[in-house]
């Protein structure tokens, strides 16, 4: 574990520690925030639902560290963070199908053609999510990019989920990026997928 994260051990799940992974798989009501950034969304959800358990995952060390500091300051116990590249997510990490909800807020849209291979929401990734989520579990995705939205819809249709609903109104916390988009009057599109 990197030195600074070690200062916030209580809120951190080390993906290389089998014990940590085992404890995650033992939770009854687990929800994930994939690409959680600095964690304000998942911390607010944790405060609203103290009986549920939340894990925020982000590839950027500095963002996870900020989330851990906030968690510590607000004394929230049912939220944890993991510094991890979700391209390596498998059902060997989440093996007990205990995941109720997955949130993916404003994933990087990679608008340039030559970068589009970096998009995380591919059919393959969605099939991995299918293999770790409970029956009737939900995935909530939102994006400001119409182009990425169309790409995601296509990937869902080709994945094991097949179906989705658009713009379902939910009273979810506002993320840092959504705050920014609304300040410049950019529309946010949302998609809900339910595992049947």
Ligand X SMILES: C[S@@+](CC[C@H](N)C(=O)[O-])C[C@H]1O[C@@H](n2cnc3c(N)ncnc32)[C@H](O)[C@@H]1O
Min CB(196)–ligand X separation in Å: 26
Phi and psi for 69 in degrees, rounded to 5? -65, -45
From the list 83-91, 94-102, 121-129, 162-170, the region that binds ligand X by CB under 6 A is 83-91
Cβ neighbors of 162 (< 8 A, separation 6 or more) are 156
Question: Taking CB under 6 A as the rule, does residue 59 contact ligand X?
Answer: yes
- Measured from the CB atom, the residue of 63 and 163 that comes closer to ligand X is 63
- Residue 80: C-alpha distances to residues 10, 12, 22, 185 (Å): 8, 6, 14, 32
113 as an active site residue: the answer is no
By beta carbon distance, the residue nearest ligand X is: 35
Task: Identify the active-site residue in 108, 113, 144, 150.
Answer: 108
Question: Taking CB under 6 A as the rule, does residue 177 contact ligand X?
Answer: yes
Cβ neighbors of 52 (< 8 A, separation 6 or more) are 29, 30, 31, 45, 46, 78, 100
DSSP 8-state assignment for residue 130: H
Beta partners for residue 133, in sequence order: 99
Min CB(51)–ligand X separation in Å: 23
Question: Taking CB under 6 A as the rule, does residue 49 contact ligand X?
Answer: no
User: Can you give the binding site for ligand X, defined by CB under 6 A?
Assistant: 35-37, 57-60, 63, 85-87, 105-108, 120, 175-178
């Amino acid at each position: 574990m990197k030195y600074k994260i070690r200062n916030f051990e209580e809120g951190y799940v080390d993906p290389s520690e089998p014990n940590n992974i085992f404890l995650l798989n033992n939770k009854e009501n687990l929800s994930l925030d994939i690409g959680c950034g600095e964690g304000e969304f998942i911390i607010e959800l944790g405060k609203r639902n103290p009986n549920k358990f939340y894990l925020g995952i982000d590839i950027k060390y500095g963002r996870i560290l900020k989330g851990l500091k906030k968690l510590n300051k607000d004394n929230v116990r049912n939220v944890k963070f993991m510094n991890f590249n979700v391209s390596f997510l498998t059902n060997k990490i989440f093996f007990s199908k205990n995941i109720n909800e997955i949130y993916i807020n404003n994933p990087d849209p990679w608008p340039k053609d030559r970068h589009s291979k970096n998009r995380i929401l591919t059919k393959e990734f969605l099939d991995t999510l299918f293999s770790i989520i409970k029956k009737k579990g939900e995935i909530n995705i939102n994006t400001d990019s119409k182009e990425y939205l169309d790409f995601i819809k296509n990937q869902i249709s080709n994945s094991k989920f097949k179906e989705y609903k658009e713009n379902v109104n939910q009273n979810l916390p506002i993320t840092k990026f959504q705050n920014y988009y609304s300040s410049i009057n950019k529309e946010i599109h949302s998609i809900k997928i339910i595992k049947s």
